[in-house]
């Protein structure tokens, strides 16, 4: 294996964590170092990312700290405004004529999106039977249970069901799945892994570095096939591929198809995330990939900074996600911008419920609306991918379709 330049940047001007948070990160670093040692000195980057995000009690998503909102590290569309969830509830009402009246959410986080959808269903008399949440974190489930205690429709699941008919929703789920890092050198592609050691000059902290791993030609070829025109990209090019998200999408497809076979009802999955089609994702000028970290509302590129205390994400390759669904038997229904999608699901009609004279409510709502649909904010950066079986989308939802760009 070939060692690359160490990624950590000690000059990052980021807020200092509390003593307890730093200690938790140190525990996770030791856990990662132990796995590296037991694995012969290197682990795939995907495994490092998995541990940094999901190690029991210590990973970013499995720990107990707040992740969303003003006190967290980033803000999502549901946390920004109830308009987002209300729009999805109105869409679900339309889709329930073809599916079972059930919703299944992945990545429910604080439970805010579920709360807003169910509140709109209650307000608009939308007949939803059950709202399933697939949640692996006990800490997050406890938060969700508190927020959703007044909605008896909610059912928590510890794993994806074998079969489901209804509406599947995932907001910023795919970007949080571990990715593989690939690098091209001397005309050949290889996978990047992580090695590390205890940094005796900085107390008990650990120093992690990226290294090049020589895998079998077959395994590398399987990963590289996600990259269009990979042979044309220059030496030194680094980017991500998404085998975990690919496998997840194929499992969702199997679940929806099994649900249709059992009940005869259609199924649809709706994915919101930031990303690109493959031909935009793997541009020659995007030679350092899209990997990004978020810590206390600061974005930076160092995945080795305080593991467990920061989010690590990569943009979504929507071409790969669509292909995984279609190859697994689903129909590609639509691919569009978040702005185009929300505008066709009743967003403006819901917003108009608040009178302009009610400035205390109207101004915050107006600001949130701008962030949701403005091309300079989330409106264009975030995309929506719809995959399903047995579904006929209303024509108005196809007005902004960009499926041809995938």
Confidence of residue 73 (pLDDT cuts 50, 70, 90): low
DSSP SS3 for 256: helix
Q: Residues 281-305: what's their mean pLDDT? A: 93
In-domain check, residue 9: no
Is residue 276 pLDDT above 50, yes or no?
A: yes
pTM beyond cutoff 0.75: yes
Instruction: Give 356-372 as a DSSP string.
Output: TT-HHHHHHHHHHHHHH
The parent domain of residue 115 ranges over 77-176+243-279+314-405
69 near 95, Cβ under 8 Å? no
Backbone angles phi, psi at 68, to 5 degrees: -115, 155
Confidence of residue 68 (pLDDT cuts 50, 70, 90): very low
In-domain check, residue 318: yes
In-domain check, residue 146: yes
Buried b or exposed e, range 227-261, using 16+ CB within 10 angstroms: beebeebeeebbbbbbbbbbebbbebbbbbbbbbe
**Measuring CA to CA, which residue among 248, 246, 244, 241 is closest to residue 192?**
241
CATH number, domain containing residue 391: 3.40.50.12710
In-domain check, residue 181: no
**Measuring CA to CA, which residue among 333, 387, 350 is closest to residue 93?**
350
Mean residue pLDDT of the chain comes to 92
In-domain check, residue 320: yes
Dmax (CA) of the chain: 67
In-domain check, residue 250: yes
Cα separation of 221 and 218, whole Å?
5
374 near 342, Cβ under 8 Å? no
In-domain check, residue 287: no
117 near 284, Cβ under 8 Å? no
In-domain check, residue 333: yes
| Kind plus residue range of the DSSP H or E element containing 89 | helix 82-95
Q: How many structural domains comprise the chain?
A: 1
Q: Residues 229-254: what's their mean pLDDT? A: 97
Predicted confidence at residue 74, as pLDDT, reads 58
Cα separation of 43 and 65, whole Å?
27
Residues 6+ apart with CB under 8 A from 132: 102, 103, 104, 105, 154, 155, 156, 157, 161, 164
Residues 6+ apart with CB under 8 A from 297: 72, 73, 74
DSSP secondary structure code for residue 77 in this structure: H
Is residue 43 pLDDT above 50, yes or no?
A: yes
């Amino acid at each position: 294996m070939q060692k690359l330049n160490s990624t950590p940047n000690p000059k990052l001007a980021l807020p200092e964590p509390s003593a307890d948070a730093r200690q938790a990160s140190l525990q996770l670093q030791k856990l990662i170092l132990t796995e590296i040692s037991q694995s012969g000195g290197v682990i795939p980057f995907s495994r490092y990312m998995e541990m940094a995000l999901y190690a029991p009690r210590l990973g970013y998503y499995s720990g107990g700290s707040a992740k969303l909102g003003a006190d967290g590290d980033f803000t999502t569309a549901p946390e920004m405004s109830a308009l987002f969830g209300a729009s999805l509830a109105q869409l679900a009402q339309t889709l329930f004529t073809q599916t079972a009246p059930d919703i299944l959410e992945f990545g429910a986080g604080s439970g805010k999106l579920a709360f807003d959808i169910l509140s709109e269903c209650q307000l608009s008399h939308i007949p939803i039977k059950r709202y399933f949440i697939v949640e692996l974190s006990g800490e997050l489930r406890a938060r969700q249970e508190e927020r959703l205690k007044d909605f008896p429709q909610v059912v928590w699941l510890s794993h994806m069901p074998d079969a489901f008919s209804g509406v599947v929703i995932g907001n910023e789920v795919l970007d949080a799945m571990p990715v593989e890092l690939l690098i091209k050198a001397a005309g050949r592609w290889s996978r990047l892994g992580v090695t590390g050691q205890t940094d005796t000059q900085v107390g008990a902290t650990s120093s992690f570095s990226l290294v090049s791993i020589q895998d079998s030609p077959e395994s590398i070829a399987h990963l590289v096939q996600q990259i269009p025109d990979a042979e044309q990209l220059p030496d030194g090019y680094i980017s991500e591929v998404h085998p975990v998200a690919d496998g997840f999408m194929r499992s969702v497809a199997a679940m929806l198809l099994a649900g249709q076979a059992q009940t005869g009802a259609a199924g649809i999955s709706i994915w919101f995330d930031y990303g690109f089609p493959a031909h935009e994702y793997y541009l020659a000028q995007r030679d350092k990939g899209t990997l990004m970290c978020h810590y206390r509302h600061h974005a930076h590129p160092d995945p080795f900074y305080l593991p467990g205390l920061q989010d690590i994400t990569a943009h979504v390759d929507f071409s790969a996600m669509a292909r995984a669904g279609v190859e697994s038997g689903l129909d590609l229904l639509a691919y569009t911008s978040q702005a185009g999608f929300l505008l066709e699901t009743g967003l403006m009609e819901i917003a108009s419920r608040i009178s302009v004279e009610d400035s205390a409510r109207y101004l915050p709502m107006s600001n949130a609306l701008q962030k949701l649909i403005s091309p300079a904010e989330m409106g264009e950066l975030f995309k929506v991918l719809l995959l399903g079986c047995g579904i006929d989308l209303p024509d108005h939802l196809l007005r902004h379709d960009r499926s041809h760009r995938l």
